[in-house]
Amino acid sequence: MNLKATPRERVGNGPARELRREGKVPAILYGPKADPVKLSIEKLDLDPIFKSGAVAQKLLKLEVEGGGKGCNVMIKEVQRHPVSQKLLHLDLYEVSMDQKIKVMVPVTTTGICKGIEMGGMLQIIRRELEVLCLPDQIPENISIDITDLDIGDSFHVEELQLDENIEVPADVNFTILTILSTKAEAAEEEEGEEGEEGEVSEGAEATEESASE
């Protein structure tokens, strides 16, 4: 997707508010081999990018007015108003097409899990995974087939089958998802409630002893 921007010289809250009133979004471009560049981007140009979803995974062709040749960038950080959710600021990061980058990719599941059919419950522990890949090979998602998982089974990161140019830079073989037994969870909740009741009664006894003294 293409994105156009204009250099800006004025900085600070006042100039930034003026830009937003004009329908523009303040931004900054940075990268490993260049100094940060302050930019202004038309909000209307950003709307299609955000409406298409998965903003953090999108590779954009940025053209800066008067900046000569364009560059490949990704959106690294988005600042929004806490109430209105209006765009306040963007951080753009220049990427090299021949160097791998780290990016977060959502986890999805496929198949009908036999553990769920038997009354279990799917618990996704990691809804996103950090992957290392080239900018033009970022997957839309990481799909896991849960068909053969039974109650008590788990799926770990080392079980992933990814393209040879995509890797998950994980130090440990962590769990991505698991199939829980609803009965076991109910038992754990009951034990937790009993423990809390015991703590309350002990506190009450301690209070009574203090009062008697």
pLDDT tens-digit profile, the chain (213 residues): 889 999 988 777 888 889 999 999 999 999 887 788 999 999 999 998 888 877 888 899 999 887 666 889 999 999 999 999 899 999 999 999 999 999 999 999 999 998 998 889 999 999 999 999 999 999 989 999 999 999 999 999 999 999 888 999 888 999 999 999 875 554 554 455 455 444 443 444 433 444 344
Task: Collect all residues with Cβ–Cβ distance below 8 Å to 151 and sequence separation of at least 6.
Answer: 115, 118, 119, 120, 179, 180, 181
The chain-wide mean pLDDT, for the chain, equals 84
The residue segments making up the domain with residue 182 are 101-186
Answer whether 166's CB lies under 8 Å from 132's CB.
yes
Answer whether 64's CB lies under 8 Å from 6's CB.
yes
Tokens (6 digits) for 188:
């754990």
Query: Within this chain, do residues 10 and 88 fall inside the same structural domain, yes or no?
Result: yes
Query: Within this chain, do residues 38 and 6 fall inside the same structural domain, yes or no?
Result: yes
Question: Can you give the length of the chain in residues?
Answer: 213
Answer whether 149's CB lies under 8 Å from 130's CB.
no
Q: Which CATH number is 12's domain given?
A: 2.40.240.10
Query: Within this chain, do residues 16 and 43 fall inside the same structural domain, yes or no?
Result: yes
Query: Within this chain, do residues 134 and 80 fall inside the same structural domain, yes or no?
Result: no
By CB atoms closer than 10 A (0-12, 13-18, 19+), residue 14 is: exposed
H helix or E strand, kind and range, residue 109: strand 101-110
